[in-house]
Amino acid sequence: MQDRMLRRVFILAGIALLLWVLYLLKPVVIPFVGAFLIAYLFSPLVEKLSKIGLPRWLSISIVFIGIGVLLTWAMWYVVPLVWQQLMYARDSIPSGIHWVNATFLPWVSHTFNVERMEIDTDQISTVVMEYIQTNYSADSIQTMALRLAQSGLNFIQIGGTIVLIPIISFYFLLDWDRMLNSLRRLIPRPYEESTLRIVYECHSVLGAFVKGQFLVMLLLGIVYAVGLQLIGLEVGLIIGMVAGLASIIPYLGFAVGIIAAVIATVFQFGVDWMQLALVGVVFMIGQAVEGYILQPFLLGDKIGLSPVAVVFAVLAGAQLAGFLGMLIALPVAAVIVVLLRHLREAYEHTQMYAGTATVVSTGNGEHISIETENLDLDIEVKNPQDTDTSIDNDRK
């Protein structure tokens, strides 16, 4: 018993040491984690191409070329529209500031009986320049050079990571089967069947959730963008796309989209209650489509978490790993739910949970409580002449 406990302690200590080393190597590990996720997402497509007789390296190349062509085509058509709307937003800033000074601030002053104020762009520019000169002034050429060099190194590191991830993904996909077989051989033989069953269940839940979530993001972005364009909002395409992308984090897409749409509507139309009502209608339609069509048919109950648990998972991911943690919070939560379900099933089959308490009552008025396992009773009666013996099994 003591040897088993020591072995478990050493295993837990080894796992903790491995996690600590991975945390220290986080800048190096992140590209490999991203490459593994990409390989995991596209491995089914590579497998389908390989089954028709294509070499594996050719199947991977076709998948990567297809992704590049699709992204290029999307950028070719979307970037000009986005750029046009950004130019419109830039040109609308002076008129928006004039509306705030001439309409909104006087209304606030009159309604709430507060002192009237105005936005002075010249004063704001002066304050910004003074702040920059105070906090970011270079005392020497050496300081400026060090800052530029550090910025350049950060840029090179980010660019190198972006280039490195597809290359690592290619090699992950090339050795995917061999890598999975190597991991499978590490599983102890007595636990292989149960472990593979849990892994397959996690794979099914995670794959269905990721595919469904991406489709929800795409379709929801289209709904928001088309709806905002139809009601005449000039920057509706940008807001719809941003809201759709932000929908990867629950409730964030709706919040970001409706706030941005209200601000854009006020700048373009002023306080036009009809236009604001139309914005609300667009986002209500989007929420109805997401809640009653997209989520049930594309996602269903893939995670098994309540809305409160979803919010907690997202906030916990943000606290632990920032924005990246928010992105992977729900997939990780889906896997944790599967693991906890199997852990609960294992616990329900333990003696601690399903043990049996046996109470023996003799003719002398004595009561003996015995803990038994699987109702295998071995009872010794000290006075055989007492034939009035009752056994009451109280299963907890």
Tens digit of each residue's pLDDT (9 = 90 or more) over 259-281: 988 888 887 777 778 888 999 99
Specify the amino acid at residue 347.
Y
Cα(331)–Cα(38) distance, integer angstroms: 14
Cα(280)–Cα(263) distance, integer angstroms: 12
Residue 184 CB partners (closer than 8 Å, separation 6+) = 192, 196
pLDDT at 143: 62
Cα(217)–Cα(244) distance, integer angstroms: 5
Tens digit of each residue's pLDDT (9 = 90 or more) over 330-379: 778 888 888 888 888 878 877 777 665 555 555 555 555 444 444 444 44
Residue 50 lies in a domain: yes
Instruction: State the number of CA atoms in the 13 A half-sphere of 124 facing the CB.
Output: 5
Q: Provide the domain limits for residue 299.
A: 191-355
* 224 and 80 belong to one structural domain: no
* CA-based max dimension of the chain: 108
- Confidence label for 62 from pLDDT (cuts 50, 70 and 90): very high
Map residue 368 onto helix, strand or coil: strand
Residue 332 lies in a domain: yes
Mean predicted confidence (pLDDT) in 114-118: 76
Cα(146)–Cα(367) distance, integer angstroms: 84
* 178 and 278 belong to one structural domain: no
The three-point CA angle 269-270-273 to 5° equals 85
Residue 281 lies in a domain: yes
Residue 364 lies in a domain: no
Q: Percentage of the chain surpassing pLDDT 90?
A: 2
Cα(222)–Cα(60) distance, integer angstroms: 30
Q: Strand runs (DSSP E) across the chain, as ranges?
A: 356-361, 367-372, 390-395
pLDDT at 388: 46
Residue 71 CB partners (closer than 8 Å, separation 6+) = none
* 199 and 338 belong to one structural domain: yes
The answer to whether 299 touches 212, Cβ cutoff 8 Å, is yes
Q: Is 223 exposed, middle or buried (0-12, 13-18, 19+ CB in 10 A)?
A: buried
* 105 and 228 belong to one structural domain: no
* 346 and 282 belong to one structural domain: yes
